[in-house]
Amino acid sequence: MTAPWLTILWLLPAVGAVAVLAVPSNRPGIAKWLGLGVTLGVLAVSLGLAAGFDTTGTGARYQFVEDHSWIPALGTRYALGLDGIGLVLVLLTAVLLPVLVLAGWNDADHVGSLDHSGGRRQKGPHTYLALTLAVEAMVLMSFVALDILLFYIFFEAMLIPMYFLIGGFGTTVGVDRSRAAVKFLLYNLFGGLIMLAAVIGLYVVTARSGLGTGGGGTFDLRAVVDAVSSGQLDAGTGLIKLLFLGFMFAFAVKAPLWPFHSWLPDAAVAATPAGAVLMMAVVDKVGTFAMLRFCLQLFPDAARYFAPLIAALAVIGIVYGAILAIGQTDVMRLIAYTSISHFGFIILGIFALTSQGQTGSTLYMVNHGISTAALFLIAGFLVSRRGSRLIADYGGVQKIAPVLAGTFLVAGLATLSLPGLAPFISEFLVLIGTFTRYPVAAVIATSALVLSAIYVLWLYQRMMGGPATLTEGPGAATRSMRDLHGRELLVVTPLIALLLVFGVYPKPLLDLIDPAVAHTMSTIHEQDPQPAVPTDQDGGPR
């Protein structure tokens, strides 16, 4: 009997969260090291799963499967499994969490409550780390759950610790932080409420189709997907479209897809840099992952029907996010708007319904997580030195802190998908996969390459360029700015290294992704469109 590795994977950070809270309040250092140790343990388990994963694509679609009875009366099971798409996102989560713990090492030191003697209890770091580990546990469960109800529970539950991370440990003060946290929670809870209605509707459909036992329905993703693929699901076209929209709405809010995006910039600015990266690079990926796993496989016909509309919304999001980023005066808000543009690329690739598009989208999820983490965290280090998020308050940083400026430039160039850095390959695949299905959408999306170059290079020029020896102006404030130190280098170095390595050698990730994408395309009975070859009047190629 093999060990239940997927249970260990998500249970380790969940137990770690409880253990961190159990550390005495006057020992914040122990809580921090324990939290870091737990995230490194999760990383070790994830690497072990990757090492034991069959990449040939000839075996079972889901590996390391665990399947146990949970609530028989509802037809729901504790079913876990991992495919290549889930695995790369598990690895992304496991790699980023130790980095985020290090990046936010001192973020919660100022948070606490007064004890009876008037002294400040140092319980802030304990709660902060416990909430972070709770989010990690729920995200990991979402990537491995093979039961629809089980997925839904954790999909919704992760909102609660994320809400407290924004509202209780954010960088803004007073009502702005609280408003951003409430907006984040309400938007996502409303999306989850719509999805709950769709989940219940799907259960009724499976019961009517005789998929469950004892006259009931089932939430087993594999059983429902098999029934859909074989035509055994007893539901009309209109009902299937409604169920698809219920799932898709929740995932579009979480992702976020334009026009359901407005909560993201406020939440990203209100959270700490580490908290914002946890939200944008990890939590939001659950939305795009779920589009691949649930929307496409459970409702392939409805996905085809709505694909042109969703692709159009994605293209609007791509251009909209890039244009809004250009006009920002707040560096953190600028980076948040770039993520809206990048999520547009991810969703466009998914609903292009081509193997290149879906491979590119999955790879884009990973690369966006790494590049956004690098750019946002480096910007956070910069803001912590100057005490301002306004771009106009900077200048000449490259002469005073060359390592900080250099890593910021690399992260920025990755954001604009410069060839040689990781996001280029994924964006290129998305555009190729989209062009064969929706050429006009691909051409419009390509304009974001120019727009991204504008906002990244202009941002770098304003913040890092110019003189740093002025007696007045923004340059004067940077003369005493220190460069990245040891802990910050530990945060930045692995992210920059991954951007460079995957920029020239993405094969390890593609070997995991390609078989899973092929399974998805086969499950939904979709084939890549053949490129049209112009012919002359005689019927031969021109």
pLDDT means per 10 residues, the chain with 542 residues, are 86 93 84 91 94 78 88 86 93 94 79 46 76 94 93 92 86 68 89 92 86 77 86 83 93 89 86 88 91 91 92 92 88 89 92 91 93 91 83 82 89 89 91 90 87 88 70 52 84 93 92 89 80 59 56
CA distance 136 to 461: 36
Residue 349 neighbours by CB under 8 Å, 6+ apart: 357, 358, 360, 361, 364, 429, 430, 433, 434
Token output for 487: 């802990």
pLDDT of residue 59: 64
Backbone angles phi, psi at 77, to 5 degrees: -130, 155
End-to-end CA distance of the chain: 62
Q: By three-state DSSP, how is residue 38 classified?
A: helix
Q: Which residues, in sequence order, are CB contacts of 25 under 8 Å at separation 6+?
A: 121, 122, 123, 126
Q: Are 279 and 267 in contact (CB under 8 A)?
A: yes
What is the pLDDT at residue 388? Answer: 79
pLDDT attached to residue 306:
93
The residue type found at 14 is A
Cβ atoms of 487 and 274 within 8 Å: the answer is no
Side-chain half-sphere exposure of 391, counting CA atoms within 13 A: 21
Distances (CA, A) of 408 to 150, 404, 487: 40, 6, 16
User: Do residues 401 and 484 make contact, with C-beta atoms less than 8 angstroms apart?
Assistant: yes
What local confidence, expressed as pLDDT, does residue 535 receive?
59
- 469 C-beta neighbours (distance < 10 Å), count: 11
pTM: 0.89
What is the number of other CB atoms lying within 10 angstroms of the CB of residue 497?
11
Backbone Cα Rg of the chain = 23
How far is the C-alpha of 423 from the C-alpha of 515, rounded, in Å?
21
